């Protein structure tokens, strides 16, 4: 599809830069957000405003949702003024949120009843990846729909992988979040250990990032820990929501995830300390408290 009309729902940390990239690519985008103020930068950049998810969907060839959690996706699609209320036959709906695989399948069934097509396409790469248009996109759905979605995916993402039928994108994203969570814990522990034994943390990060321990988490989160930058590339509240979904899915599948459970509890300690809206690198604060350090 050449230059489809895009409807976009959700203008948070990820949604705003993703829509900005679509506008910069010359695509026509109509946006809806529960808080209009969050969409104002996009309206100034050329996006149109819709008063509801249904209104954003009415004239769209492709409708994209990027919201917080499974209940949000259900409300956006199935509510009285939701996507399905005005979905036209053949419209492609793409949910790029991270939600439960069961939610993705249930919403896909309702979209199909209305004659639409559905993809679950969660992303990885955080705010920096969204701004650069280099997100990794994990897609579940029919292959022909993935190809059709390239008009969006190729603008906001750098890597697009078709992971299988609907729900497979979400399951793959849960694997991603398990890996991210445990990498986050490793960086936090190494950082606090270095502090406690008297190492210069910048020197430690410089050399460990060049060897077998090198990782995206070390390069991006370790450096922010060192500079005291806890602004979110991805918020603790969202990371812990994703880990909750992973643990629920694992329980249903009979898979033990002991490391993921630990990370979930450590991030819950951040949340209890009022740090849920900080970036995930703020886990280091929990580990520092456990080590008896001033935070």
Question: Do both 31 and 123 map to the same domain?
Answer: yes
Per-residue confidence (pLDDT) for residue 274, from 0 to 100: 98
Per the rule left: phi > 0, alpha: psi between -120 and 50, beta: everything else, 254 is left
pLDDT, tens only, 241-294:
999 999 999 999 999 999 999 999 999 999 999 999 999 999 999 999 999 999
Helix (H) / strand (E) element for 164: namely: strand 157-164
Domain count for the chain, please give it.
2
| pLDDT at residue 33 tops 80 | yes
HSE-CB at 263 with a 13 A cutoff on CA atoms is 30
Q: How far apart are CA 235 and CA 58, in angstroms?
A: 32
**Does one domain contain both 125 and 56?**
yes
pLDDT tens digits, 56-108: 999 899 999 999 999 999 999 999 999 999 999 999 999 999 999 999 999 99
How far apart (Å, rounded) are the C-alpha atoms in residues 153 and 116?
19
Q: Provide the domain limits for residue 197.
A: 172-290
Supply the pLDDT for residue 228: 97
Mean pLDDT calculated for residue range 190-199: 98
How many angstroms separate the CA atoms of 44 and 249, rounded?
41
Looking at residue 200, what is its pLDDT? Answer: 97
Residues 24, 50, single domain; the answer is yes
**Domain stops at, among 138, 164, 190:** 164
Domain shared by 10 and 151, yes or no: yes
> Is residue 261 classed exposed, middle or buried when 0-12, 13-18 and 19+ CB atoms within 10 A define those classes?
middle
Q: Are 164 and 140 in contact (CB under 8 A)?
A: yes
User: Counting Cβ atoms within 10 Å, is residue 37 exposed (0-12), middle (13-18) or buried (19+)?
Assistant: exposed
Q: What is the DSSP string of 30-87?
A: EEE-SSHHHHHHHHHTTPEE-SSHHHHHHT-SEEEE--SSHHHHHHHHHSTTSHHHHP
According to DSSP, residue 256 is labeled -
Task: Check residue 261 and give its pLDDT.
Answer: 98
Whether residue 295 lies inside any domain: the answer is: no
CA-to-CA distance for 5 and 96, rounded, in angstroms?
A: 17
Instruction: Quote the pLDDT of residue 76.
Output: 97
Q: Is 55 among the domain residues?
A: yes
Which runs of E-coded beta strand occur in the chain?
6-9, 29-32, 48-49, 62-65, 92-95, 117-120, 123-124, 135-140, 157-164
**Do 65 and 180 belong together in one domain?**
no
Q: How many Å apart are CA 27 and CA 19, to the nearest integer?
A: 9
- CATH code, domain carrying 230: 1.10.1040.10
Q: What CA–CA distance (Å, rounded) separates 222 from 229?
A: 10
Same domain, 129 and 258: no
Q: What confidence tens digit (pLDDT) does each residue in 124-180 have?
A: 998 999 999 999 999 999 999 999 999 999 999 999 999 999 999 999 999 999 999
Flag whether 283 is in a domain. Answer: yes
Q: Which of 127, 173, 241, 285 is catalytic?
A: 173
- Verify that 29 and 145 share a domain, yes or no: yes
Q: Provide the 3-class DSSP secondary structure of residue 91.
A: coil
1, part of any domain: no
pLDDT (tens digit per residue) in 195-248:
999 999 999 999 999 999 999 999 999 999 999 999 999 999 999 999 999 999
Shortest CA distance to 33 belongs to which of 51, 10, 50, 54? 10
Q: What is the DSSP letter of 280?
A: G
* pLDDT the model gives residue 169: 98
The yes-or-no answer on residue 5 being catalytic is no
Does residue 15 sit in the same domain as residue 143?
Answer: yes
């Amino acid at each position: 599809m050449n230059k489809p009309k895009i409807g976009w729902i959700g203008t948070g940390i990820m949604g705003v830069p993703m829509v900005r990239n679509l506008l910069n690519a010359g695509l026509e985008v109509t946006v809806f957000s529960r808080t209009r103020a969050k969409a104002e930068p996009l309206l100034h950049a050329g996006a149109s405003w819709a008063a509801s998810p249904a209104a954003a969907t009415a004239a769209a060839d492709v409708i994209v949702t990027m919201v917080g959690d499974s209940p949000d996706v259900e409300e956006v699609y199935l509510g009285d003024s939701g996507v399905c209320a005005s979905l036209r036959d053949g419209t492609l709906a793409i949910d790029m949120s991270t939600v439960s695989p069961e939610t993705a399948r249930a919403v896909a069934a309702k979209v199909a009843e209305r004659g639409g097509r559905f993809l679950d396409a969660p992303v990885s790469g955080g705010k920096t990846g969204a701004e650069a248009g280099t997100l990794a996109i994990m897609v579940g759905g029919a292959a022909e729909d993935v190809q059709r979605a390239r008009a969006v995916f190729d603008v906001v993402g750098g890597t697009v992988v078709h992971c299988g039928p609907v729900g497979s994108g979400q399951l793959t994203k849960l694997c991603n979040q398990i890996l991210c969570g445990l990498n986050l814990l490793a960086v936090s522990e190494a950082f606090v250990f270095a502090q406690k034994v008297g190492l210069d943390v910048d020197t430690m990060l410089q050399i460990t990032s060049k060897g077998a321990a090198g990782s995206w988490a070390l390069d991006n989160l370790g450096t922010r820990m060192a500079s005291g930058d806890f602004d979110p590339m991805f918020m603790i509240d969202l990371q812990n929501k994703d880990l909750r979904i992973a643990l629920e899915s694992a329980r249903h599948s009979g898979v033990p995830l002991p490391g993921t459970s630990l990370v979930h509890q450590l991030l819950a300690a951040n949340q209890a300390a009022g740090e849920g809206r900080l970036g995930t690198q703020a886990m280091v604060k929990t580990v520092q408290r456990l080590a008896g350090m001033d935070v």
